[in-house]
Each structure stands twice: as structure tokens, then as C-alpha cells.
Structure 1
Amino acid sequence: MRHETPAERLARELDWNLLRTFLVIATSQSITDAADRLSLKQPTVSSALKRLEDRLGKQLVERKPGRFALTDAGKLLYEETIDIHGAILRLGTVMRNVENEVQGLVRIATASHVVCPLLDTALSDFHARHPRATLSIEAMASKDALAAVASRRVSFAVCLVKDRSPRLEYRRLFREYFGLFCGPTHALFGKTGVEMADLAGQSSVSFITDQMSDALRAVTLMRSEAQLDARIVGTSPNLEEVRRMIVAGLGIGPLPIHVVREDIEMGRLWRLPPFEAPPHVDVHVVWNPSARTNRAEATLLADLLDKIETTPMEERIYV
């Protein structure tokens, strides 16, 4: 008779409720805070944490006066527990999907204000062929969209990518170019012959992710070359809100050129230099290959990837 390995014994004996409790503890400020969020008494949560630590033989949370933080073992367990939690949440969807007709919910996370005709065509074609499938699209910061994919809370994401995780798959969807713009009340609005030197010292607004270490590094370099005031007077993770601040006259800011073309034509925005070789940013489709998907999710993702493969890159560059 084969003896169980320690890992097999742990898998058989470990109580999922302890992991669920730990997931809340890991994102709380204290045991008391976690107890409030779980609607349990503080001793109950403390006892659950101790049982889990005893079962694993590792301290998971460092608890000292004025300090409440995950240990290295706790951080590793937290990452794994996110995956487990996501898989359990999707069980109901998977079990419902035993029918011939393609149906089910597709959850898509997108960076704010993604404008991509190829994506729109994929969604339109999918709905025409599978009218019983439903879509949920939520705009969020790209880092949050990537976290949602990693934890299997969404089917896939359409977003910016800085660092690639070996657990995820990536496909470039399109490339967009950024320009600098000002609003109607700005001193440079409507002026021709403006040069980069005229932008020096001007107040600016931008995206929260407009940093040298983030996905919008190319945009950060453009702002730096323009020598705009180093103090950014307004930031947002949402493109619409950055656009609002520019139109309102808070300062000069970067926006995707193809997204705001109508604003330029309607006199709501005025483009400023640089006009030659504007910086570009690639937007990707990102998915988790280890996620269990329903037929609707698998079908839409496959359709979108097929459209990407059969559409030349030059047709997916938006200026």
C-alpha cells in the first residue's frame, strides 16, 4: 500500500475555511479588522490563524505592538490562496456550462477608454453568433486589470503591460501614439508655430502611471523633453478624467491621438509639439492559461486572438 507524501496529506487534511480566513487576514490591518470583515469574534479569527500556522509549520503573520505584516511564508501562501479562491469561485460557472449552445458570462477588464476597431468587431461578431452569452466589461487601471487576470477574477484583460509574469500569456492587440494637448482656456490654445521650448515650465496633468518605471515610460520621456513643470497639478488612472482636466485648463497633458481626434475637430483640445515621432504605447490582450473557462470565455478569446493573427500589424497601429 502506497504511503501518502506530506504534500498529499496536507491537501487532504487542510481546511479551505482556514485559507479563506487567511485571505481576509492578509489584506487587513489587524486581527480585529479581519474579524470585523468576516463578522466573527476576534478570538475565533486568532484561533483560525494559529491552527493554519500549526498545520503548515510556519509563522504566517508577524504580530507585534505597532506591526502587523505577512512573513515571507505568509506572502507565498497569500499568492497561492488567491489562485485557489479564484478557481473555487469559477466552479459554479464551469458546472453550468454543460450545454450545446455557447453561453455564459465573459468578464473583461480594460484600461480606461480603449478605442480599438478590431476589438469592437470581435465583440460584435461574437454577440451575433452567440446571443445567449453575456459580457461584463470593467474599466480599471492596467495593474489592477493584470491582477484580476492573475487571480482569475476576469476572463481576460485589454491593458498596458510593463513587466510580464510567466503565469500569464500576452498578445499585442494594437499600438497607439500619444501627443501633448491643452484646453480652450490655455494660453497656447489655437496658436500655430508653437515649439517645444514654449512648453517649458508650463503646468501639466497626466496619468498616475506616467512614471519612468511604469508602462507609460515613453510618455514620461516626452513630458520630460518638453520640460514641463516637474510638479504635476492633476493625476488620474482614467483617461476620461485626464482629458477632463486638460479641457478644464489645469495644464498640458498627454492623450492617445486617435482617441481624441473628435475633440480636436470640435475645438475642445489643441495639439502641441512634438509633432514628429510621437511616443507610442502597445496595448495587449492578457489571459491566464491555467484558468478554467466556460465556453463563452474560450470562444471569445479564441476569436479575438484569431483576428489579431490575421490582421497585419500596420492595420492595428492607430495614429
Structure 2
Amino acid sequence: MELRQLRYFLVLAEELHFSRAAQRLSISQPPLSVAIRQLEEELGAQLFERTSKEVRLTAAGKHLRVQAQDIMEQAQRVRQDMRAIADGVQGRIRLGFVGSAIYRGLPEALESFRTRHPLVRIDMLELNSAEQIASLQQERLDLGLLHATRPAPGLQSHTLVSEPFMACLPAGHALAGQRTLQVRQLAGERMVLFSRQVSPDYHQQIWQICQSEGFTPDLHHEVRHWLSVLSMVSLGQGVSLVPSCLQRVGFPGLAFVPIQGRHPQSQMQAMWHPGHVQPLVESLLAHLRDSVGRLGQQP
């Protein structure tokens, strides 16, 4: 059974006249008669009663008319959906993100994207950088927002945000009131750092910043989330170097002090699998390129 046969059947069921139905379909009458006869043979049922004076639907024909209308409407919806997906205006995106993305303009960017693309569903999953990379490589995510300084094997990336690190200190710390400080002033302080297993690039960056200032961090706590870093520091368990966006968290008991000198920046990358890019993901990526960094820089 073909959609063409059902379309012919529905027109004939409306007209109940072969010549008029053929004219509406822009075909001659013989192909219409052949198509209806083939449909009846495939279904094993007579659909029309034909006499020299009239054409009438049989009981089977009346039943098929209802079913055929549903099928044709569903086929039209499928065509529209496929066209919308191909055009990048409808579908589902599996988006991974690190917690700091919340303070870099991600919620606002996604809200404006949803306004422009109301038929798009974005399933968000908070994962650390290592988990996102594994999920992207296994094609369990369509797009990841993570901390990295270079693309992971088999993946492509684009830098969405690049911002300086800042010293994060307990509010009562002796250096908390300074306008700026040198990283070497933190030598000998207990450090709270992001876990190497969770975000190896971030861990290495902070380690290198400290070593470039002449000391090795006195690592006391490794944690899995930036909010855990802020919590530990606010409780007086150490100091840290954190992305400047974390000032916007509004966590009590903390002081953020800019650091002097030229140091590696904190970067958030958009990362994806090049063999698994669909127009919808490209639309979201273009929107994030335009909006995340700009929104994230607002006070």
C-alpha cells in the first residue's frame, strides 16, 4: 500500500465520481481505476460499489476512509517534523554542562534560544569535564560545556569564555582587603583545588600558576564541584584560585581578589563529536557563541 493510492482513494471517496476525481488529481481516469483496483486487491476488500449510474463506498470503504485520513495527516506531520529538524528548528538536544556555566550566562542564553526555537527540547545534564568528554566520545551527549584547554581525542571544540582566575579567600583573611595580590603571597597557605580526576586541565592550570610564582601548592582538599571549593574556603579550610565568574554566586564569607601578572585564563569550551553534528546542534552552538560570553561578563 502506497500513500499515493490512499490519496487517490480519499479523493474518489469525496467525489464518488471517477472522472471528477481524476480531474482533481490531474491524471486521466484509467490510472485512477488501476490504482483503486490494486488497492482493493492488496486489502482483500471491495471499497466501492460501481454501477453505470453511481459510485458508492462499501462498509469497508467507509472504514478505510477514516483510517486513510489519519494516515495521511500523520504522514504530513512526519514531513513537517523532518523538514523542521533538517532546518534546525525542531528536535531534542542532549546538553552537558559544568556547574560554573550557570554563572557564565548559560541560563539566559538557553532562555533566549528557547524563545526563538519553541519546538526544541534541551535535556540538560550536569557532569564534570571528564564525564562529559567520555559521554561525547560515546555519542551520549550532543554538546558539552566544560573546562578544557584543548580538544579531547576525536572531538572538536570552541572557546566560549576566557576569563582570569582570582584568589578566593575567607572574608577574614589577612589578604582579603587588598585590591590585588601576587600569587606567591599564597605560598604556605592550605589550598582547596578542583580534583585532578574531575577536571585535569583546571587542576594543572592552577598548579602551573603556583609553580610559576615559585612554590608548589600545599594541597589539603580536592573537591568535585566549584561550590564545594567556595564552601571549604568560606569555612576557613584554605584558599583557592577560581574563575572570576564565581564572584556572581553570592556565597557568604568570601573575598575575591584579582591576581597580578600574566597567567593562564580559565576557559569554558563547547565540545562536540564531529560525526554527530545535526543542524539543531549547530544552531544552538552558534547562539551560545554569540551570547554566553557576553552575558557571562555582565555584573
TM-score, normalised relative to structure 1: 0.56
Work out the number of aligned pairs and report it: 215
Shift of 1:121: 4.8
1:277 aligned partner: 262
In the alignment, is residue 116 of structure 1 matched against residue 101 of structure 2?
no
Letter in 2 for 1:279: P
**Given the alignment, which residue of 260, 263, 287 partners 2:272?**
287
The secondary structure found in structure 1 opposite 2:193 is strand
- Return the offset for 1:317: 8.6
- 2:144 aligned partner: 157
**Aligned equivalent of 1:306:** 286
Find the partner of 1:236 among 220, 223, 230: 223
Partners in 1 of 2:91 and 2:113 — Cα distance?
A: 12
Task: Write the deviation string for residues 236-256 of structure 1: whole angstroms up to 9, x where unpaired.
Answer: 121111111111111010111
Cα distance change, pair 262–210 in 1 and its aligned pair in 2 (3 A): same
Aligned to 1:129: 116
The question of whether the paired residues in 2 share the 8 Å contact of 1:177 and 1:281 is answered with yes
The answer to whether residue 93 in structure 2 is matched with residue 106 in structure 1 is: yes
Equivalents in 2 of 1:276, 1:144: separation in Å?
32
Percent identity, aligned pairs only?
20
CA distance in 2, matches of 1:210, 1:190: 33
Deviations 1:215-245 (A, max 9, x none): 4433222233456674311111211111111
Task: Give the TM-score, by structure 2 length.
Answer: 0.59
Aligned to 2:165: 178
Structure 1 unaligned regions, length at least 5: 1-95
- The answer to whether the Cα contact below 8 Å between 1:174 and 1:283 also exists between their aligned partners in 2 is yes
Q: Report the CA distance between 1:127 and its aligned residue.
A: 1.1
The code of the aligned residue for 1:274 comes to I
Bigger CA drift: 143-152 or 163-172? 163-172
Separation of aligned partners in 2, 1:180 and 1:239: 13
CA–CA separation in structure 2 for the residues paired with 1:136 and 1:240: 23
User: Counterpart amino acid of 2:284?
Assistant: L
Alignment partner for residue 250 of structure 1, among 224, 233, 237?
237
Aligned-pair CA distance for 1:135: 2.0
Q: Give the secondary-structure state (helix, strand or coil) at the position aligned to 1:260.
A: helix
Q: Deviations over 1:63-121 (max 9, x none)?
A: xxxxxxxxxxxxxxxxxxxxxxxxxxxxxxxxx9765355443211112221333x445
Pair 183,215 (structure 1): closer, same or farther in 2 beyond 3 Å = closer
3-state SS in 1 of match to 2:231:
helix
Taking structure 1 as reference, are residues 292 and 253 closer, same or farther at Cα in structure 2, changes over 3 Å only?
A: closer
Kept after mapping to 2: 8 A contact 1:196/1:274: yes
209-218 or 219-228, which moves further after superposition? 209-218
**Distance in structure 2 (CA, Å) of the matches to 1:97 and 1:182:** 57
Partner SS, residue 290 of structure 1:
helix
Map Cα deviations across residues 288-314 of structure 1 (whole Å, 9 max, x no partner).
122275xxxx32x22233346667x8x
Give the conservation status (yes or no) of the 8 Å contact 2:194–2:223: yes
SS at match of 1:182: strand
How far 1:204 moved relative to its partner?
1.0
Partner of 2:189: helix, strand, or coil? coil
Residue 243 of structure 1 aligns to a residue in which SS? helix
- Taking the aligned partners of 1:97 and 1:238, their CA distance within structure 2 comes to 43
Q: CA deviation at 1:203?
A: 0.8
Cα deviation code 1:246-302 (max 9, x no counterpart): 111110101111321464xx8632234633435302221111122275xxxx32x22
For residue 277 of structure 1, give the secondary structure of its aligned residue in structure 2: coil
Structure 1 pair 109/215, CA: closer, same or farther in 2 (3 Å)? same
RMSD over aligned CA atoms reads 3.7
Structure 2: distance between partners of 1:234 and 1:157: 27
Partner of 2:177: 190
